[in-house]
Structure 1
Amino acid sequence: MQSTVAVVTMVRDDLFFLKIWLAHYGAQFGRENLYIINHGRGEDVARLAEGCNIIGIPGEAQKNFDMKRWRLLNNLVNGLRGYYTHVIVGDIDELVVIDPADGRSLLEFLQQARKGRVLTPMGLEVIHRIDQEDAPIEGAVLGPRRHVRLAPHYSKPCIVSVGTKIARGGHFTQFDQLFTPDCLYLLHLKFCDFEEYVSAMNRRNAVTEGMSVQEAAIGRHWFAEARGEDRALFDGFAALEMVEGFDMRPYRKKMQRSFGPRGETGFYAFDRPDYQLQFVLPERFNGTV
Structure 2
Amino acid sequence: MGTDGSSVRPSGASRRTHAGEESASPGAPRIVVMTMVRDESEMLPRWVDYYGRELGLGSLIVLDDNSVDGSTDDLPCTLYRLPPEPWKQRWAKTRARMVNGMAGALLACNDVVVFTDVDEFLVADPGKYAGLRDYLAHRSDVPIIAPLALEVMHHVGSEPPLDPCRPLLQQRRYVKFAPGMCKPLVKRVPVPWEPAFHAIHAPFAVDPDLLLLHLKWSDEPTLSRVAELRHRVREEEGRGSPRSFWAKRPDQLRRKLASWTSPAGESDPVPVLDVEEVGARAVVSKRANGTWRPRGNQTTALDKTPLRVLPERYRDAF
Deviates more, 1:78-87 or 1:266-275: 266-275
SS in 2 for 1:149: strand
1:175 aligns with 2:199: no
- Aligned-partner Cα distance in 1 for 2:219–2:78: 28
Over 3 Å counting, the alpha-carbon distance change for 1:41 and 1:202 in structure 2 is: closer
Aligned pair partner of 1:146 in 164, 167, 173: 173
Tell me how far 1:230 sits from its aligned partner: 4.0
Contact 1:65 1:217 in 2 (8 A): no
Instruction: Confirm or deny: 8 A CA contact 1:123 1:187 kept in the other structure.
Output: yes
| 1:161 aligns to 2:188 (yes or no) | yes
Describe the SS at the equivalent of 1:183: strand
Q: TM-score, normalised by structure 2?
A: 0.80
| Aligned-partner residue type, residue 223 of structure 1 | A
Compute the RMSD of aligned alpha carbons. Answer: 2.4
Letter in 1 for 2:47: W
The unaligned stretches of length 5 or more in structure 2 are 1-21
| Paired residues for 1:103-114 under 5 Å | 103-114=129-140
The 1:64–1:218 alpha-carbon spacing in structure 2 relative to 1, beyond 3 Å, is farther
Give the CA deviation at 1:133. 0.7
Please point out which of 237, 247, 255 is paired with 2:260: 237
Paired position in structure 2 for 1:251:
278
Maintained 8 Å contact 2:224/2:250: no
Partner of residue 311, structure 2: 282
- Which among 223, 232, 240 is matched to residue 247 of structure 2? 223
Where does the alignment leave 5 or more consecutive residues of structure 1 unmatched?
none
**Where does residue 143 of structure 2 map in the other structure?**
117
Match of 1:20 among 46, 52, 61: 46
CA distance in 2, matches of 1:268, 1:184: 19
Q: Residues 89 and 200 (structure 1 numbering): CA distance in 2 closer, same or farther, change over 3 Å?
A: same
Matching residue's letter, 2:184: P
- Which segment drifts farther, 131-140 or 94-103? 131-140
Does residue 56 (structure 1) correspond to residue 85 (structure 2)? The answer is no
Percent identity, aligned pairs only, is 23
Cα distance in 1, alignment partners of residues 78 and 153 from structure 2: 31
Matched residue, 2:291: 267
Give the aligned residue type for 2:317. T
Residue 111 of structure 1 deviates from its aligned partner by 2.0
| 1:41 Cα deviation from its structure 2 partner | 5.0
CA contact (8 A) 1:137 1:193 kept: no
Which stretch shows the higher mean deviation, 227-236 or 117-126? 227-236
Q: Deviations over 1:183-241 (max 9, x none)?
A: 1001111111011111111111221224546xx668632235x6553432232123359
Question: Cα distance, 1:56 vs. partner?
Answer: 0.6
